[in-house]
Amino acid sequence: MEALAALGPRPEDMHASGAAWVFTLVVGIGFVLVAAWCLTYAIHRRDVLPLVMLGSGLLSVGLEPVVDTMGKVWYASDNPWVVYTGMGVPQPAFLVLGYALFWGGSVYVGSRFVLNGTSLWKVFATVFAMDLFVEYLGAPILKVGVYYDFSPFNVLGFPIWWAFVNGAAGAVGVWLLIVLEPRLTGWRRIGLLPVSATAFGATHATCAWPVWVCLHSNAPHWLGYVAGAYAISMAFAVVAFANSEIRSRTSASLSPSDAEPQRRGVGTAHPAARAG
């Protein structure tokens, strides 16, 4: 039986390309600009939510070594400014700052759109597309990291099942934020810090575990593709569940005067959005 490359040695002799410095610089500048905007927003609007969500995304990076190990991802140890090494995998600065921007930013911005009537499916599709861009730029093109050994649905150096799961993680984060935000006001907003990490960890564990098992066993390739198909299917199921929950909450919170235009097919913004 053809094996999935049991554990396989990590490509520890991999070296980062010179473009890694450019990649790090671009991500770093983006982080500084977004952090400055969050601070300005907090001061002028007296709302720390964007700043809290930036921190929420930053906390999520603690889970990166886990998914790197389980999904067989490696980052070159000579990437600029390796912040720490987790489970033996180097974690460079662009990854740490990128998590804050991607998982904090996408969840916050996505929640604002959903509260104003955008479908959660559009958020899922947007995060999916963004993830494809970032993954292909970072791994196959700039070579700051690599997906090593076999992984199902690997297209030109990136296993695309990851993008479906990451898109679902963003959608789950949006759902959690919408549910919890009205309950935590003022200084209690700090309680939203675990949102991004919770969404990321729970979604990856729910969707990707069969792939992880296959990648770390002597299972045949065909079973790896079955596991990858499960991960993609479960990603859609998770988004469908979160979307239905948001729709239920929105319908339940509509006033009688709002309900009539919705029955006629006219979109109505979420009460929290109207209040903002």
220, part of any domain: yes
* Cα(58)–Cα(18) distance, integer angstroms: 25
260, part of any domain: no
273, part of any domain: no
3, part of any domain: no
Q: Are the beta carbons of 208 and 71 closer than 8 angstroms?
A: yes
153, part of any domain: yes
Rg (CA), the chain: 20
115, part of any domain: yes
228, part of any domain: yes
**Considering Cα of 170, then 211, then 202, then 52, what sign does the dihedral take?**
negative
168, part of any domain: yes
* Domain span including residue 208: 8-251
Query: What's this model's pTM, rounded to 2 decimal places?
Result: 0.86
> What's the token pair of residue 196?
């991004």
Residue-level pLDDT, tens digit, the chain, 276 residues: 343 344 568 988 888 888 889 889 989 998 999 999 889 988 888 889 999 999 999 999 999 999 999 999 999 999 999 999 999 999 999 999 999 999 998 899 999 999 999 999 999 999 999 999 999 988 898 889 999 999 999 999 999 999 999 999 999 999 999 999 999 988 899 999 999 999 999 999 999 999 999 999 999 999 999 999 999 999 999 999 999 999 988 777 655 555 455 444 444 455 455 444
Provide the number of structural domains found in the chain.
1
